[in-house]
Amino acid sequence: MSIRTMAAHGVIRQSLLHGAWPWIRMGAQTATVVVLALAMDAPDFGRYATALAIASCIAPLLVVGPAFVYLDSHAAFGSTREQIATVWTRALLVLGCVAAAGLVACMALLAGEWTQWGLWFLVGLSDIVLMGFVEMRARRHQAAAEFNSMGAWQAAPYIVRLGLAALFVRAGVQLPLATWVWLAFGVTFVLALGANRVKRQDAPRGLDSLVRLVRVGFRYGSYGVAKHVIADGDKPFVAGIVAPVASGALFLAQRVVDLVSFPLQVAIANALPRLLEARPEMRAGAWRRALLWPALYAVMASALLLGVSEVLRGLGPDYTIAVMAVAWLWWLPILGFIRGTLGNAAVLSGRSDAYVRALSLGAGMRILGAICLLGLFGWEGALASLLLAECVVIVYLLAASRRPRQVVATEPGAHR
């Protein structure tokens, strides 16, 4: 996966920084989780949050990965963008259902939640398959340089879900789990139908094209999978070993931390194209600008988390774990700043694969740490596994930066 190529072509900058839509989407995602915590019974919210966490770990393989192929690599396939859209549609319809079944299996085997398997399958269809069609429409607008339309489509599912959940809170009616899952599926289905107006053409060698798209899309999507596993890979284990309420509370805490850290993530992502474009003699100044404000914000965000945690007490005693978790995660923005800066340095030095490997190692440590530490320390073990995962990524990137790059020797005149 070439993060450097994505940055050089402006994919990262366009995806994160154009207009207010990314901020609206992030705010709507977090607000929806908070409102659902108010509207739903705490155990039901925990089960739904666990299913969402699993879906978020699977979705990049079929959504984010193929999106980059659709945008930038269709020529390498010997296909037009319209033909890639056809192959992507087939992948969503066929493999998306397999992924939804995988979500059901994870809920049953890891979280011990198998009696409501139909609801978990619907969550998989909503947040993997249908969200994939919405993402396809958004990427079509991105390819046409219609970035506001792209952002609006990406934010629309979360805005609509937030409005629906808020109606139940305003009415003072408790929101049953099954009702919410069907509502979320219904509105996402309607949006997917509206998003389906994407130009398509018959793809030559349909099966071969599908296999190639899946293989390359998985390679691109593995980056997103690793990041989501580091954030939420512990949730099914928390639900199964501790309780669904604890899983929901930790999911809520992670979304609050993500919201507070979002400006930091944008600043780091925005710095990479500027560093790539800077001439060697100007790069030192570019690095100083790339480090100063994000470092200051990381410290401010850490302090902010300590104050925000008290606001969550209004959710009630069922979410005391969320209050404590947000306060205990004060170190996450600082480690996120270090990880992102080292990741940018790895890309600049031609070691983007090292960044992906570091994230993969961190994801593995997150799962292994959760399995080992949850039984010993309860939900606090999940936070410890997150700390271990972040440290593993940072240590690997530091080690990779000290390792000399291997230069392949060539015969004299080989490039003539």
pLDDT digits (tens, 9 = 90+) for 302-342: 999 988 888 888 888 999 999 999 999 999 999 999 999 99
| Gyration radius of the chain's alpha carbons | 21
Mean pLDDT of 357-381: 94
pLDDT of residue 409: 39
Q: At 13, which helix (H) or strand (E)?
A: helix 11-17
24 near 152, Cβ under 8 Å?
Answer: no
pLDDT band at 144 (very low <50, low <70, confident <90, very high): confident
Whole-angstrom distance, CA of residue 275 vs CA of residue 31: 34
* pLDDT score, position 66: 87
The 10s digit of each residue's pLDDT in 304-313 is: 998 888 888 8
Total Cβ atoms within 10 A of residue 214 = 22
| Residues 66 and 213: beta-carbon distance below 8 Å | yes
Task: Report how far residue 286's alpha carbon sits from residue 276's, in angstroms, rounded to the nearest whole number.
Answer: 10
State pLDDT tens for residues 68-126. 888 876 666 667 788 888 889 989 999 999 999 999 999 999 999 999 999 999 999 99
CB atoms within 10 A of CB 310: 11
Mean pLDDT of 145-172: 93
Reduce the DSSP state of residue 114 to 3 states and report it. coil
Phi (first) and psi of residue 10, to 5 degrees: 80, 10
Is pLDDT larger for residue 246 or for residue 272?
246
Tokens describing residue 111? 């979280």
**Closest to 394 (Cα-Cα) out of 349, 335, 324, 350:** 335
Q: What is the pLDDT of residue 175?
A: 95
* Residue entry with tokens 């978990």: 120
Q: Which residue has the higher pLDDT, 320 or 404?
A: 320
The stretch 385-396 carries a mean pLDDT of 96
**pLDDT tens figures, 256-299:** 999 999 999 888 888 888 877 777 777 777 788 888 888 999 99
Residue 111 contacts residue 236 (beta carbons within 8 Å):
yes
User: What is the pLDDT at residue 379?
Assistant: 94
For residue 15, the model assigns a pLDDT of 46
CA-to-CA separations, 310 to 306, 307, 320, in angstroms, rounded: 7, 6, 10
Q: What percent of the chain has pLDDT over 70?
A: 89
- Residue indicated by tokens 């970035």: 147
Select from 187, 224, 232, 197 the least CA-distant residue to 325: 232
Domain range summary for the chain, segments of one domain joined by +: 3-401
What is d(CA 385, CA 63) in angstroms, rounded to the nearest whole number?
A: 27
Is the pLDDT confidence value at 357 over 70? yes
Higher pLDDT, 280 or 11: 280
Q: What is the pLDDT of residue 239?
A: 96
Instruction: Quote the mean pLDDT of the chain.
Output: 87
pLDDT band at 203 (very low <50, low <70, confident <90, very high): low
pTM above 0.85, yes or no: yes
Q: What span, in angstroms and rounded, lies between the C-alpha atoms of 37 and 217?
A: 34
Range list of β-strands (E), 145-296: none
Q: What is the pLDDT of residue 414?
A: 43
